[in-house]
């Protein structure tokens, strides 16, 4: 690995952008969203991730663009809307299948 990259992306647990990204570990609870998200669907997991990020962005407005928290919440809403749509379509499919069995 290039020495510059090793220095920037080396094994340091504090700054490991792959295994321990700081932007996902800033929540006051100390909980990383991934530890919860793995138990949820893809859409709900992403929704949680963006809610965590929005919370961190709001606390760090001096370090980030002040609108980043809103952007993250809009992303969370997009994934939540997708999850709702998916669940509705599953319910509709199940209702149609029940109707087919009764016929």
pLDDT digits (tens, 9 = 90+) for 43-84: 999 999 899 888 876 666 555 566 888 999 999 999 999 999
Per-residue pLDDT tens over the stretch 24-46:
677 777 788 888 888 999 999 99
pLDDT computed for residue 27 by the predictor: 72
Q: How many CB atoms lie within 10 A of CB 57?
A: 23
C-alpha distances out from residue 75 to 10, 15, 21, 33, 67, Å? 30, 25, 19, 15, 13
Please tell me the predicted confidence (pLDDT) of residue 103.
56
Ramachandran area for residue 30 (φ above 0: left; ψ -120 to 50: alpha; else beta): left
**3-20, pLDDT tens digit by residue?**
554 454 444 445 576 777
Q: What is the pTM of this model?
A: 0.67
The band of 2, judged by pLDDT with boundaries at 50, 70 and 90, is: very low
């Amino acid at each position: 690995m290039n020495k510059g990259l090793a220095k920037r992306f080396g094994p340091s647990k504090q700054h490991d952008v792959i295994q321990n990204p700081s932007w996902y570990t800033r929540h006051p609870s100390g909980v990383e969203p991934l530890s919860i998200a793995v138990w949820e669907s893809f859409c709900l997991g992403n929704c949680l991730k963006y809610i965590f990020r929005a919370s961190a962005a709001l606390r760090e407005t001096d370090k980030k663009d002040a609108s980043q928290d809103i952007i993250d919440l809009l992303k969370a809403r997009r994934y939540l809307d997708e999850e709702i749509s998916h669940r509705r379509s599953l319910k509709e499919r199940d209702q149609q299948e029940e109707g087919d069995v009764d016929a």
